[in-house]
Amino acid sequence: MSQHSWRVPLIAIAGASLLAGLWVGLLRLGWQLPQPRLPLPSAHGPLMASGFLGTLIGLERAVALEKKWPYGAPLFAALSVLALLFFSPPNITPLLATTGSVFLTAIFISLYRLRPSSFFATMGAGAFLWLAGNLLWHAGLPLHQVVPWWIGFLVLMIAGERLELSRLLLLSRRDTFKFLFSVALFLCGLLVSLAAFGAGVKLSGAGLLAIGLWLLRYDMARRNIREHGLPRFMASALLCGYVWLVAGGLMWIFFSQDFSAGPRYDAMLHAIFLGFVFSMIFAHAPIIFPSITGLAMPFQRVFYAHLILLHVSLLLRVGGDLIESPSWQQWGGMLNALSVLLFLLNNVHAVRLARSG
């Protein structure tokens, strides 16, 4: 089987994981929808973090390397989705996700050996956090203690990629040191959380805050926001995402005692998972999707519709969390899901326009 033939089923499974994750998330918010036979309290996080994002990130890296063995990362992440959806024994899903994260970590070890750099080190640390989080999940830790490690996986993976692109701005050593110090602060918080969870969350929150402020100050988006077309759209999405990362870091600092359940916990998670991570997905999709699929997806002004809906709905949801308004939280969550569906529809529409034109 060729490398290209792996991509379609993996993308399909990632998409199924996203849709299942959105459905379960709405059920958890109290919407009366048909209930799948899934372990509802625990399925949402694994479906989104490992099933959807782990598969896509692994696939992106495997495609870039143009070798066969890196496809183990998205393959095992996708298999973890199938294991969860088809009711395998409880330990199988985290075991498969752990195997996928081993492959992703190996990818970045290989890249770093070929080209030692701070950005590959940062992305490699992110891959290792996915591995560590999956091991903690497999060991039976409560999911709220695993989630910070999964968040670290996504934040460091994205921040490392942005650091790589920021080389074009000729950053000074001092500027790079500020970035690495912020990452180190976040990692120290994760280590502390193993012994003192609340204190570790607070310290990691300071790291998230520092990373977000660094990206707002030094990322290329500040320059590209003055451009037109796709560069401006990407910059708009990136800058909005960085603001949510700062907000998430602040909430981790001030609400660390609530990092287990309840509305503040919902706000702390989704400020980053939706506000930051999905902003990055929206920003990079017009570049990454064609590189994976070989299909052109030219920028359309309608892309702003799903970007605006995401952030307006997230303001409603997080505001509802903070003032403890269930109706705001529910409707914000529903509009969050609709923004993601609109994103998918707009992407399909752009591909169809490119093929018909």
pLDDT class of 84 with cuts at 50, 70, 90: confident
Show the CA angle centred on residue 331, arms to residues 325 and 333, nearest 5°. Answer: 100
What residues contact residue 175 under an 8 Å CB cut-off, 6+ apart? 218
The whole-number pLDDT of residue 262 equals 92
3-state secondary structure of 216: helix
- At 241 the pLDDT is 97
Q: What is the reported pLDDT for 7? A: 83
pLDDT digits (tens, 9 = 90+) for 291-341: 888 888 999 999 999 999 999 999 999 999 999 999 999 999 999 999 999
CB 74 within 8 A of CB 59: yes
Confidence at 3, pLDDT banded by 50, 70, 90: low
Q: Is the pLDDT of residue 189 over 90?
A: yes
Between 188 and 288, whose confidence is greater? 188
pLDDT, residue 1, reads 47
What is the reported pLDDT for 27? 87
CA-angle at 327, arms to 325 and 330, nearest 5°? 110
The pLDDT value recorded for residue 39 is: 57
Counting Cβ atoms within 10 Å, is residue 140 exposed (0-12), middle (13-18) or buried (19+)?
exposed
The whole-number average pLDDT for the span 233-259 is 97
Please determine, for residue 175, whether its predicted confidence score (pLDDT) is greater than 80: yes
Listed in sequence order, the residues at least 6 apart from 160 whose beta carbon sits closer than 8 Å to its beta carbon are 119, 120, 121, 122, 123, 125, 126
Compute the distance between CA of residue 164 and CA of residue 80 in angstroms, rounded to an integer: 30
Q: What is the mean pLDDT of the chain?
A: 92
Q: Report the SS3 class of residue 23.
A: helix
- The pLDDT of residue 268: 96
Q: How far is CA 112 from the centre of its chain?
A: 22
**Confidence (pLDDT) at 67:** 85
User: What distance in Å separates the CA atoms of residue 317 and residue 247, rounded to the nearest whole number?
Assistant: 14
Give the confidence band of 150 by pLDDT, cuts at 50, 70, 90: very high
| Triad 223, 229, 233: Cα angle to 5° | 65
Alpha helices for the chain (secondary structure H): 3-28, 40-46, 55-65, 72-85, 92-114, 118-138, 143-165, 173-193, 197-218, 221-224, 230-254, 263-270, 279-293, 303-323, 326-356
Pick 171 or 357 by higher pLDDT.
171
